[in-house]
Amino acid sequence: MTPLLILNLSVALAICFLLYRMQAAHASFTKRVFTGMGLGILLGAAFQLLYGTASPVVTDTNAYLDIVGTGYVSLLKMIIMPLIMVSIISAILKLRDASSLGKISALTIGILIATTIVAAAIGILMAKLFGLTAVGLTSTAAEVARGEYMQGKLGAAQEISLPSMILSFIPENPFLDMTGARKTSTIAVVLFSILIGISATGIAKKMPEIFDSFSHFIKVAHVIVMRMVTLVLRLTPFGVFALMTKVVAGSNPDDIAKLISFVAASYSALILMFCVHLLLISAVGLNPVRFVKKIFPVLAFAFSSRTSAGSIPMSVQTQTARLGTPEGIANFAASFGSTIGQNGCAGIYPAMLAVMIAPTVGIDPWTMSFIVPLLAIIAVGSVGVAGVGGGATFAALIVLSSLDLPVALAGLLISIEPLIDMGRTALNVSGSITAGAVTSRVLGQTDLAVFNSGAELNLDRDEQVA
C-alpha cells in the first residue's frame, strides 16, 4: 500500500466509524443514510480534485471501497429470493382467496405498465424541448466499443417477443431461478411461491393438521428471514457511503459537460415522472410529502447502487413498516416492479434514445406514425427488463431494433451512462413503491395509522417504533 492509499482508506474508515457512532446513538435511519450519501459525495469529489479521475490511487481506493459498497449490494441480492418466497407464501396463507390475489396482481402490473407509457411520453416531450439529436455527435474509442457491444447483443433482443417473454416467466426449474440465473428469475420465483401458497390453501380443509404444520413452518421461516433482512439493512448507510464515493470519484466532468443537454433532459424527465407518482399518491388520498419522507432512504440506496432488484428488501420493509401497505402487496409490487414496467430504464431512456437516433436515418420522430408505435413497443418491451445493471441497455435494444434504428449509436452516451442510470434506478423503485401504495389503497388494505404516523425504520431493534 502507498501512503496516499493508506490516507484515503483511513479517512473512509473514520467516516464509517462516525456512521457507526450515529447508529449507537440511535440517530434515525433516514438521517444516517442521508449522512452517508452526503459524505460519500464530498469524499468522492475530494478524491477527484486531488488525484484526478484516472489516477491509480483513486482506482486502488475504489477497489477497497467495493468491499463495502458492492459487498453490501451482494448481501441484499442474497436475501431477495428467500424474502420473496416466504413473504408471498405467508400472505397467500392468510388471504385464502384467489380472487384477492388476482386483483392485487392485475392492479400492480397495470399501474406499472401504464406509468411506463406515461414515462415514455414524458421522455419524448423532454427530448423535444431540449432539442436532442444524435446527428453530428462524434465517437471516441470507448463509445465505439460500447456501440459494438450493443450491436453484438442485438440478436438476443430481436429474438424477444411478447409470447417468449411470458413463457420466460414460467419457472421451468424453480431451483435454478432461486439462484437468479435468468433475467426473469424474480418473476418466476414469485409465480412458484404463488403456486405453493395456493396448493397449501387447497388442503386447508381436507388435511388441516398438515396445513397447520406447513403454516407454522412458513411462519418460523418468515421470522428468521425478516431478522436476516434487518441485519443486512443495518449496513445501508455504510453501503450508500462507499457506493457514492466510488461513483463521484470515478465520474469524468469533461465527458459529462459534452452531453450536458442529455443529462439535463433526462433528469428533467425523471423529476417530472416522479411528480406523476406523487399525483397518483394524492389521487388515492395519501399525503405526498409524507410519502416522500418515508421512502427517501430506499431512493437514496437505489440512486447510489443502481440496482432495482437489490432494493427489494428495503422497499418491502419501508412499504410495510412506514407506508402501512400489507406485506403481500408490498412483495408483489417490489418483485414485479424490479422486472416489469420500469419507468426510468424501460420508459424514459429508450424513448429519448429513439427520438434522438431517428433523424440520423432520415425519420421524423415528431409524427404520430412514429410516436404511437414507439409507445406501444415500449409498453410491451417493458415486460421482463432485468432490474440490475444493463437493464436499460437491453430495453433500448428492444425498442431500437423493433423500430429498425441503428443501435450502435446508443454507445455515444457511454460517458454519462452511470450518472443517468442512478436517477433512472431511483425512479424505477419509486414507481414500484407507488404501484404498491396505490394498489393497497384502492383495495382498502392500507393501514392509515401507520402511514400517518412518524414511524421510522428502527433496525437496531427487532420491532418498529413510532
Task: Provide the pLDDT for residue 465.
Answer: 36
Spatial separation of the C-alpha atoms in residues 411 and 260, rounded to whole Å: 16
Spatial separation of the C-alpha atoms in residues 132 and 264, rounded to whole Å: 11
Q: Which value, to the nearest 10 degrees, does the dihedral of the CA atoms of residues 190, 196, 201, 204 take?
A: -160
Within 10 Å of residue 442's Cβ, how many Cβ atoms? 14
Positive or negative: CA dihedral 118, 274, 79, 70: positive
Spatial separation of the C-alpha atoms in residues 293 and 33, rounded to whole Å: 12
Q: Which value, to the nearest 10 degrees, does the dihedral of the CA atoms of residues 328, 462, 427, 240 take?
A: -150
Count how many Cα atoms sit within 13 Å of the Cα of residue 7 in the half-sphere of its side chain. Answer: 10
Spatial separation of the C-alpha atoms in residues 331 and 318, rounded to whole Å: 11
Task: Provide the pLDDT for residue 261.
Answer: 83
Task: Provide the pLDDT for residue 178.
Answer: 85
Going by C-alpha positions, the residue among 274, 239, 295 that lies closest to residue 456 is 295
Whole-prediction pTM value?
0.76
Whether the CB-CB separation of 347 and 146 falls below 8 Å is answered with no
Going by C-alpha positions, the residue among 6, 5, 140 that lies closest to residue 59 is 5
Spatial separation of the C-alpha atoms in residues 359 and 251, rounded to whole Å: 29
Spatial separation of the C-alpha atoms in residues 81 and 333, rounded to whole Å: 15
Over residues 270-286, the pLDDT tens digits come to 999 999 999 999 999 99
- Report DSSP state, residue 405: -
* Axis crossing angle, helix 3-24 with helix 56-95, rounded to the nearest 10: 30
Whether the CB-CB separation of 378 and 384 falls below 8 Å is answered with no
pLDDT tens-digit profile, the chain (466 residues): 789 999 999 999 999 999 999 988 988 888 898 899 899 989 998 998 888 877 899 889 999 998 998 898 888 888 888 888 888 888 788 765 556 777 888 899 899 999 999 999 999 999 999 888 876 554 544 445 555 545 555 555 555 566 776 777 788 888 888 887 777 787 788 889 889 988 998 888 889 899 999 999 998 998 898 888 888 888 989 998 998 898 888 777 766 666 788 889 999 999 999 999 999 999 999 999 999 999 999 998 889 888 887 888 889 999 999 999 998 899 889 888 887 888 988 899 989 989 988 888 888 899 998 999 899 888 877 775 654 455 677 777 778 877 878 776 666 666 567 788 889 999 999 999 999 999 999 999 999 999 998 766 666 554 443 3
Over residues 75-119, the pLDDT tens digits come to 888 888 888 888 888 878 876 555 677 788 889 989 999 999 999
Give the DSSP letter string of 309-331: GGGHHHHHHHHHHTS---HHHHH
Domains and CATH numbers, the chain: 3-452 (1.10.3860.10)
Task: Provide the pLDDT for residue 466.
Answer: 32
Task: Provide the pLDDT for residue 197.
Answer: 87
Over residues 117-129, the pLDDT tens digits come to 999 999 999 999 9
Task: Provide the pLDDT for residue 121.
Answer: 96
Residue found under cell 414507481: 431
